[in-house]
Amino acid sequence: MDRGISRYCERRFKDKKCLKLHHLKPNLNKFIITFDGKTEIHVKVLTATSEIMVNAIELNLKSVEFTPEGGVATPATVTLCVEEETAILSFAAPIEPCLGKLFFSFSGELNENLKGFYRSKYTSPSGEARHGAVTQFQAIDARRCFPCWDEPAVKATFDISLCVPHDRVALSNMPVASEEVRGDERLLKFERTPVMSTYLVAVVVGEFDFVEDTTRDGVKVRVYTPVGKKEQGKFALQVATEVMPYYTDYFEVKYPLPKIDLIAIADFAAGAMENWGLVTYRELCLLVDPDNTTTDRKQKIALTVGHELAHQWFGNLVTMEWWTHLWLNEGYATFVESMCVNHMFPEYDIWTQFVTKSVVVGLQDDALKNSHAIEVPICHPSEIDEIFDEISYNKGASIIRMLHKFIGDEDFRKGMKLYLTKHEYANAETEDLWAALQHSSEKPVKEVMSTWTNKMGFPVITVSSKQIGNSRELTLSQKRFCASADMKDDPSMWMVPISLSTSADPTKASHNFVLSDPTQIVTIDNINDGDFVKVNPGTFGFYRTCYSIEMLDQLVPAITSKQLPPLDRLGILDDVFSMVQAGHMAPTEGLKLMSTYSECEDDYTVWKNMCSWITKLNSLFNYADECKKPFLAYARSVLRKISEKLGWDAIEKESHTDTLLRARIIESLVECEDEKTIKEAKTRYEAHRNGTKILPADLRLPVYRAVLTDADASIFQEMVEMYRSADLHEEQHRISFAMGYMKDPELLQKAIDFAMSDDVRKQDTVYVISFIAFSLEGINLAWAHLTKHWQTCLDKFGVMPCLRCIYLDYN
């Protein structure tokens, strides 16, 4: 694999731990939105060279010099290579091996593209439009802010200084070390950072309020919010203050910085970014307004905070060697976010939800013929953005959970400590993590796990059974599972950690073994004829199970009696429908099973899964009109009992998951065109709109959806007005999401135009359009728009920010 620049660096600057001094001055004046900068890099030249290559793009390099220690400055001529995003410095005479300083002075535009060093627009309390300056460097955009070797393995310490207007907040990774007033500006010098990668450097300049606290081990935590909204930072503050010492204890590795700031940015492409000591968030992912934030959003915020703070160790202290190993960062943080949320909020039942949020999503995408392995060779930087996807995040997180179960928490923890301490302030690859966990557990971690990271896909375990006296003989076989076709010719084999449970104790795995052959026979002793055998209890394994009809029938009574735990009920349902989807089982089998659940099921996560299958089937019937009506009637009958149980209004002291369930079930009934539900929703909307009874936040999405589904132009316009005047980003997000369900093509087209207008921030346009693309009418319109206005879209947005968050938000 050619990694171009780092090869080049390694040859010449073997000592990667160089010091970088960056001075930046953003000009935030309304008319000149630029920045000036100076960078000094301390390097060690190992081999004589007359050329040095650095990363730089869209920077105006004004002067470049190299000064050997005790020597004379030598100016360089600079050749920019836009394609490679590099600048090649050529010196008149070769630089001999030495220690020296590379100096750059440069300027750039504070761009509008949400990457590099960019501007973010906000309204001051007096109503004036102003700009802040923000950085977003992951993966390869530090080079847009200063010349550097912009690769995760080229680590350095950073001394950042900023020159800012006197009345602005200015933040960076470290606390301020010194401050000097210069006319109406301030020069802030920040403390030196630990050795770190360029993609984690951050700077924010703007106007913010904050709330603060100190963790029990002395780390200062602040949550910065828009001016006047500091109350909205309190929930994240509480989470962060508790989660930081939780990780310190779990990993037994101290957080090495004196502070951690979390800040809500008005224009932000991703959901959140883990810059060391200065974590940036889109407002939706950080701010909680008690009257307007849903229970679901609060839960997501807790997970997001937990995710980014996990990166402070896993990613920031120990960084992947190269982007091929990105999944290590993202998969791991996606696993650990649930660990800390479970610790803080046991009532969220987050490990159950993990299965719909990560395992089901990972399995779904990885069942595609054109999936990819968790580890992807990255040759050109342009390929990096593509792998921030469900495979890296959710398959990654799911196989880590599978491994955690396989080796147990104690050995997992010991292994993590070993990994973090061995590679701290340095870089690591997947193999290094396996080595540490193998060492701590003395189990064949590397051998088992490499089958899950090196190739795409996962197996379906086909299982049948035969009762012989008081024993049961199970035949298990594996082959790659594909959602669209039989993978007959695919010879892939996995080492599959298999667990089994039986009627004797459905809550405990009675058998654990690793299936490595294509077929294996397992005997279960002392089991009665007719007792069930459940494969994959707890849905820890990243695979599908295809039971014989007889085995499935034996499981049904344990579903209705809820003798089987929720994750097993969910696993059976999701596996059966996946088999239906792939053509391995008749659709009627799936529907029969669903009816069984409808009578007795009361678990939120199981219902969430069931609702998502209703949505998938419903969208299939868009192509079979004659089936649509009967299917919707069937789906309404499935939802009837639970909806009657929950009603519309929250019951005092009800559980967190019942609140989530109510909103989900009402939304499904709206989707299934239930007249009574839609009528009630419209009545409640009217009362909300005229101010007689404000809708609780949890009910707003299903109600907006009901109102918008058959909206006319005036209701659409009303919603646009609500969007414009909404003070909370979450409310805007909700409105635009519901707009995606409008049926009238003319209104859908209007919604696309609205998405492209200045009413919608650039960061949200792509979401609004993709919500519209959820429906059959919408997808054609969105596609037509995109192809017709391709150039405008490219000019306005550059590369579209990835859409992963959508799945994160709604599934």
Beta carbons within 8 Å of 216's beta carbon, 6+ residues apart? 245
Compute CA distances 563 → 168, 537, 604, 664, 777, whole Å: 60, 12, 17, 24, 43
* Tokens at 526, concatenated: 């002392």
SS3 at position 493 = coil
The answer to whether 173 and 275 have CB atoms below 8 angstroms apart is yes
Tell me: cis bond preceding 139? Omega within 30 of 0 counts. Answer: yes
- Among candidates 274, 280, 258, 101, which has minimal Cα distance to 191? 258
Amino acid at 480: R
Q: Least distance (Å) from ligand BES to the CB of residue 151?
A: 15
Among the listed residues 108, 147, 152, 271, the single contact to ligand BES using CB under 6 A: 271
CB closer to ligand BES out of 271 and 565: 271
Distance between CA atoms of 21 and 40, rounded to whole angstroms?
5
Distance between CA atoms of 485 and 265, rounded to whole angstroms?
44
Q: Where are the beta strands (DSSP E) in 283-340?
A: 318-320
Sketch the per residue contact string, 304 through 333, with ligand BES: x for CB under 6 A, - otherwise.
x--xx--x------------------x---
- Partner from Zn ion, ligand BES, none contacting 134, C-beta within 5 to 8 A by type: none
Distance between CA atoms of 772 and 782, rounded to whole angstroms?
7
Residues of span 478-497 touching ligand BES by CB under 6 A: none
Question: How does strand 74-75 pair with strand 60-68?
Answer: antiparallel
For the CA atoms of 396, 397, 402, 406, what is the dihedral angle to 10 degrees? Answer: 100
User: What spatial distance separates the first Cα and last Cα of the chain, rounded to whole Å?
Assistant: 37
270 near Zn ion, rule: CB under 5 A: no
Using the contact rule CB under 6 A, the part of the chain among 462-470, 499-507, 630-638, 800-808 near ligand BES is: 800-808
Residue 372 known to bind ligand:
no
272 near ligand BES, rule: CB under 6 A: yes
Using the contact rule CB under 6 A, the part of the chain among 96-104, 173-181, 303-311, 399-407 near ligand BES is: 303-311
- Partner from ligand BES, Zn ion, none contacting 573, C-beta within 5 to 8 A by type: none
Angle at 498 between CA 495 and CA 500, to 5 degrees: 170
733 near ligand BES, rule: CB under 6 A: no
Amino acid at 687: A
Residues of span 417-436 touching ligand BES by CB under 6 A: none
436 near Zn ion, rule: CB under 5 A: no
Distance between CA atoms of 21 and 101, rounded to whole angstroms?
10
Instruction: Single out the catalytic residue among 151, 242, 283, 308.
Output: 308
- Partner from Zn ion, ligand BES, none contacting 667, C-beta within 5 to 8 A by type: none
Q: How many residues belong to the chain?
A: 811
| Active-site annotation holds for 308 | yes
- Among candidates 132, 102, 286, which has minimal Cα distance to 210? 286
- Partner from ligand BES, Zn ion, none contacting 104, C-beta within 5 to 8 A by type: none
CB closer to ligand BES out of 357 and 656: 357
805 near ligand BES, rule: CB under 6 A: yes
Residue 511 known to bind ligand:
no
Eight-state DSSP code of residue 17 = -
Q: Least distance (Å) from ligand BES to the CB of residue 332?
A: 11
Question: How does strand 259-265 pair with strand 544-547?
Answer: unpaired
Nearest residue relative to ligand BES (C-beta): 271
- Partner from ligand BES, Zn ion, none contacting 426, C-beta within 5 to 8 A by type: none
Compute CA distances 470 → 168, 178, 473, 523, whole Å: 77, 78, 10, 10
141 near ligand BES, rule: CB under 6 A: no
- Partner from Zn ion, ligand BES, none contacting 388, C-beta within 5 to 8 A by type: ligand BES
Task: Identify the H or E element spanning 62.
Answer: strand 60-68
Using the contact rule CB under 6 A, the part of the chain among 35-43, 647-655, 659-667, 801-809 near ligand BES is: 801-809
- How many positions of this chain bind Zn ion (CB under 5 A)? 2
200 near Zn ion, rule: CB under 5 A: no
CB closer to Zn ion out of 233 and 331: 331
Task: Identify the H or E element spanning 92.
Answer: strand 86-95
Rg over CA atoms, the chain: 28
CB closer to ligand BES out of 300 and 662: 300
SS3 at position 195 = coil
Q: Least distance (Å) from ligand BES to the CB of residue 804?
A: 5
400 near ligand BES, rule: CB under 6 A: no
Distance between CA atoms of 122 and 443, rounded to whole angstroms?
54
What are the phi and psi torsion angles at 225 (to 5°)?
-125, 170
- Partner from Zn ion, ligand BES, none contacting 131, C-beta within 5 to 8 A by type: none
Q: Least distance (Å) from ligand BES to the CB of residue 384?
A: 8
674 near Zn ion, rule: CB under 5 A: no
Sketch the per residue contact string, 327 through 366, with Zn ion: x for CB under 5 A, - otherwise.
---x--x---------------------------------
* Tokens at 735, concatenated: 């409105």
Beta carbons within 8 Å of 767's beta carbon, 6+ residues apart? 733, 736, 737, 803, 805, 806
CB closer to ligand BES out of 333 and 572: 333
Residue 311 known to bind ligand:
yes
Using the contact rule CB under 6 A, the part of the chain among 270-278, 405-413, 638-646, 715-723 near ligand BES is: 270-278
- How many positions of this chain bind ligand BES (CB under 6 A)? 18
CB closer to ligand BES out of 330 and 574: 330
SS3 at position 733 = helix
273 near ligand BES, rule: CB under 6 A: yes
Q: Least distance (Å) from Zn ion to the CB of residue 363?
A: 20
274 near ligand BES, rule: CB under 6 A: yes
The answer to whether 273 and 253 have CB atoms below 8 angstroms apart is no
Distance between CA atoms of 584 and 739, rounded to whole angstroms?
36
279 near ligand BES, rule: CB under 6 A: no
Among the listed residues 66, 247, 314, 388, the single contact to ligand BES using CB under 6 A: 388
Among the listed residues 804, 806, 807, 811, the single contact to ligand BES using CB under 6 A: 804
Q: Which residues are catalytic?
A: 308
Q: Residues in the site for Zn ion, rule: CB under 5 A?
A: 330, 333
* Binding-site annotation, residues: 307, 311, 330
Q: Residues in the site for ligand BES, rule: CB under 6 A?
A: 138-139, 270-274, 303-304, 307-308, 311, 330, 388, 802, 804-805, 808
* Binding-site annotation, residues for Zn(2+): 307, 311, 330
